[in-house]
Chains A and B, each alone.
Chain A
Amino acid sequence: MAEPFTHNLVHFTRYLRAQGLRVVPETTAALIDAADVVGLENRPDTYYAFRALAITRPDDIPVFDAAFDLFFGAGGRVASIDPRDVELFPRAPQARVAVPTVSRTTRDGDGSSDVSEQIGASAIERLGMRDFSELTRSEYAEVQRLIARMVWRPSDALSRRWAPSSKGNRPDLRRTLRELTGPARDLMPLEMSAPKSRRRPLLVFADVSGSMERYTEMLLYFVHAARGRLGKVEAFVFSTNLSRITREIRHRDARIALSQVGHAVHDWSSGTLIGDAFADFNRRWSRRVTRGGPVALIISDGWDRGDPELLRREFATFSRSVYRVVWLNPLAGRSGFEPQTRGMQAVLPFVDDFMPAGNLADLTAVVRLLESVPKRRETVHR
């Protein structure tokens, strides 16, 4: 391969990485090999070859296409690009933080846990029952910090794998026979195995429509904390559309994660079409994210502008593809609250747990509930 071309490929892969594709340094070497195999004369072949090595999911294709045209010219000739120009290409724009700034004075240090635990205790007493919509700016920040520090101990689910266990009820013949090769014994002990446990996944849907405005941000902090503590979390937001925010919410820093969510979602604070959102989910996502019997956490006040019959039908389908449905309504904790909205009425028959989520104590109760979800369903509960 010609020297400038190799040089160009290095910049090409770096550019792809800057655009968010998951390429590694070895990709460059792989591209050089591929160019050797398919040659450069036939542009489509070069394109397909590079694409097959650089992308890992269909969503990468448009990004790759743009980059390929930029570097190798749309005209069919392998263009040369000045490496100094590459640095000028903007990275994916950092979203402006639409979230009120939180002063992060205390960090979770190692030695200070006792003291901060005490502060936490009194703060929980003071702020636990206060509705999120009534907090002052500084209290708000404090509650966010408390949410980030909540202790999650969700119960496990049964895995289909087996592990050695003296209490198990399935003979482990491989180990039994292997034991035989050891020192001779009078009795041949039968080794046993039992099912292993695994973390039960969590599936979160947060309503970001106008009626939820005063709660959305705090509840997204809660989702972010869940993702940080549990790992296996799939997250979606909905109002008139459904958007998956699993990737965006992954960032360690809650503020950056939330601003990424802000960027990815286009219909903040508009109306709500819950039925359409779940119809979309059932068709596009359900089969991809409902493996392993997830607990579904739906955070919404149930105000729905759509067709209640559509909502009922789609939510019924949805409820059959998850292990348990927990509906969090920020208004449910208020005295005299009845789930009277048409949307709520339509989904209630399919909800296992209906809980308030208007203050810190409510959220703590949700975390406790996740600890009590049984490993397997004892009886049909519906």
Chain B
Amino acid sequence: MKSVDEVLEALASRRYMAERSLGVAIHLALQLGKPLFLEGEAGVGKTEVAKVLASILDTPLIRLQCYEGLDVGHAVYEWDYARQMLAIRLIEAKGEGAHADVGDIMSREYLVARPLLQAVEASALGQRPVLLIDELDRADEEFEAYLLEMLSDFQVTIPEIGTIAASEPPVVILTSNRTREIHDALKRRCIYHWIDYPDFEREVEIVLRKVPAISEALAADLARAMEKLRSIDLFKPPGVAETLDWAAALSVLGTERLTTESATNTLGVILKYQEDIERLRAGGVEQLVASAR
């Protein structure tokens, strides 16, 4: 892909309708070999970017889901203890005792590669995979610090084995739901992009592309209703993912246009907080449907 337009085209061919600004960010990340940092509310399609990109580039997608307490053993590598134990027992059973080379059980063969090592190893073989580091905001600062080092030289050092380095850095995509601020030092190494909710036209387009079974009129109803829902003070405003779920749900129910009844029945698809649902049940649904049609 040689230009922003080509990037956007390739995304669209995979049914990902991106804003031009996102196209520029992806193009830059690929051309400059920098990680792409995607931030935005839940359900605006951050993770999807990585999946689509892996499909476009025809490379494996390696995904690391972050959580608090994520450590080297789960992010980079772990020894296969069960196999190591068995190997020791075998050495004992053979009676080789002190003559056996115990160092062998610390070789690559007994190592389980976790996502970061997998990505480095794949890159070392020239595959240039897409590495998705998902929901980085859930990890703690210790992991962030490790990542900072990792993203600058793309190599992993295992004391017992040595250093494995990527010849060409993998395509790295980091996402954050912004449940906390990620340190600036990390963001500065990346191309930063804030994914906003799509505007009305784009959301209609997304719905029609992803849920082709529904009518244009219903897609427009939903996009307008979502616009409205995002403007009122909800605990958790619905994202694009919810719009798509809603469209799929209404399509299953055979709905032609959004009505108070069909909206009330499917509120649980788009709102995930009891307080928000209560609030809409208490008279908000008619208003919502009226403004959406």
Contact present for B142 and A173 (CB under 8 Å) = no
- Of the candidates B31, B73, B180, B192, the one whose C-beta lies within 8 Å of that of A53 is B192
Task: Decide yes or no: A52 and B25 within 8 Å by CB, A33-B32, A58-B194, A177-B81 being known contacts.
Answer: yes
A198-214 interface bits toward B, Cβ cutoff 8 Å, 1 = contact, 0 = none:
00000000000000000
Closest to B187 in A: A56
Question: For the complex, is B280 an interface residue (Cβ under 8 Å from A)?
Answer: no
Q: Complex formed: what's the CA distance from A180 to B84 in Å?
A: 11
Task: Decide yes or no: A38 and B24 within 8 Å by CB, A177-B79, A184-B98 being known contacts.
Answer: yes
Which residues of A sit under 8 angstroms from B283, Cβ to Cβ?
Answer: none
Which residues of B sit under 8 angstroms from A376, Cβ to Cβ?
Answer: none
Within 8 A of A (CB), among B152-194: 160, 178-181, 184, 187-188, 191-194
Contact present for A52 and B192 (CB under 8 Å) = yes
Q: Complex formed: what's the CA distance from A291 to B176 in Å?
A: 14
- Of the candidates A24, A57, A159, A181, the one whose C-beta lies within 8 Å of that of B106 is A181
The tally of residues in B whose CB lies under 8 Å from a CB in A reads 42
Question: For the complex, is A37 an interface residue (Cβ under 8 Å from B)?
Answer: yes
Which residues of B sit under 8 angstroms from A283, Cβ to Cβ?
Answer: 233-235
Q: Closest 8 interchain pairs by CB?
A: A160-B69, A48-B24, A56-B187, A48-B21, A58-B194, A173-B81, A52-B25, A37-B31
Contact present for B79 and A288 (CB under 8 Å) = no
Closest to B141 in A: A198
Question: For the complex, is A34 an interface residue (Cβ under 8 Å from B)?
Answer: yes
Least CB distance from B38 to A in Å reads 10
Question: For the complex, is B277 an interface residue (Cβ under 8 Å from A)?
Answer: no
Which residues of B sit under 8 angstroms from A42, Cβ to Cβ?
Answer: 4
> Residues of A with Cβ closer than 8 Å to B?
22, 24, 26-27, 30, 33-34, 37-38, 42, 44-45, 48-49, 51-53, 55-58, 61, 159-162, 173-174, 177-178, 180-181, 184, 279, 282-283, 287-289, 291, 317
Contact present for B188 and A24 (CB under 8 Å) = yes
Least CB distance from B272 to A in Å reads 13
Which residues of A sit under 8 angstroms from B275, Cβ to Cβ?
Answer: 317
- Of the candidates B25, B39, B106, B180, the one whose C-beta lies within 8 Å of that of A58 is B39
Q: Complex formed: what's the CA distance from A288 to B181 in Å?
A: 8
Which residues of B sit under 8 angstroms from A52, Cβ to Cβ?
Answer: 21, 24-25, 28, 191-193
Which residues of B sit under 8 angstroms from A279, Cβ to Cβ?
Answer: 233
Which residues of B sit under 8 angstroms from A48, Cβ to Cβ?
Answer: 20-21, 24-25
Question: Can you sample 8 A-B contacts with CB below 8 Å?
Answer: A42-B4, A52-B193, A56-B187, A159-B69, A161-B142, A174-B79, A177-B105, A291-B180
Within 8 A of A (CB), among B70-110: 71, 73, 78-79, 81, 84, 88, 98, 102-103, 105-106
Which residues of A sit under 8 angstroms from B105, Cβ to Cβ?
Answer: 177, 180
Task: Decide yes or no: A38 and B98 within 8 Å by CB, A22-B184, A58-B39, A291-B179 being known contacts.
Answer: no
Contact present for A173 and B79 (CB under 8 Å) = yes
Q: Complex formed: what's the CA distance from A176 to B24 in Å?
A: 49
Q: Complex formed: what's the CA distance from A56 to B192 in Å?
A: 6
Question: For the complex, is B144 an interface residue (Cβ under 8 Å from A)?
Answer: no
Contact present for A287 and B179 (CB under 8 Å) = yes
Question: For the complex, is B149 an interface residue (Cβ under 8 Å from A)?
Answer: no
Which residues of B sit under 8 angstroms from A56, Cβ to Cβ?
Answer: 184, 187-188, 192
Within 8 A of A (CB), among B94-144: 98, 102-103, 105-106, 140, 142
Task: Decide yes or no: A61 and B102 within 8 Å by CB, A38-B24, A283-B234 being known contacts.
Answer: no
Least CB distance from A317 to B in Å reads 8
Closest to A39 in B: B3
**Interface hub of B31, B192, B234 (most chain A Cβ within 10 A):** B192
Which residues of B sit under 8 angstroms from A53, Cβ to Cβ?
Answer: 28, 191-192
Q: Complex formed: what's the CA distance from A347 to B53 in Å?
A: 50
Least CB distance from B133 to A in Å reads 17
Least CB distance from A199 to B in Å reads 11
Least CB distance from B196 to A in Å reads 8
Q: Complex formed: what's the CA distance from A45 to B21 in Å?
A: 7
Least CB distance from A235 to B in Å reads 14
Q: Complex formed: what's the CA distance from A228 to B24 in Å?
A: 41
Least CB distance from A71 to B in Å reads 18
Least CB distance from B75 to A in Å reads 12
Which residues of A sit under 8 angstroms from B224, Cβ to Cβ?
Answer: none
Q: Complex formed: what's the CA distance from A38 to B140 in Å?
A: 35
Q: Complex formed: what's the CA distance from A322 to B20 in Å?
A: 40
Q: Complex formed: what's the CA distance from A53 to B21 in Å?
A: 12
Q: Complex formed: what's the CA distance from A37 to B71 in Å?
A: 37
- Of the candidates A34, A45, A159, A317, the one whose C-beta lies within 8 Å of that of B32 is A34
Which residues of A sit under 8 angstroms from B81, Cβ to Cβ?
Answer: 173-174, 177
Question: For the complex, is B27 an interface residue (Cβ under 8 Å from A)?
Answer: yes
Question: For the complex, is B48 an interface residue (Cβ under 8 Å from A)?
Answer: no
Contact present for B193 and A38 (CB under 8 Å) = no
- Of the candidates A22, A49, A181, A288, the one whose C-beta lies within 8 Å of that of B180 is A288
- Of the candidates B28, B106, B160, the one whose C-beta lies within 8 Å of that of A34 is B28
Which residues of A sit under 8 angstroms from B6, Cβ to Cβ?
Answer: none
Which residues of B sit under 8 angstroms from A184, Cβ to Cβ?
Answer: 98
Q: Complex formed: what's the CA distance from A174 to B77 in Å?
A: 11
Q: Complex formed: what's the CA distance from A27 to B69 in Å?
A: 32
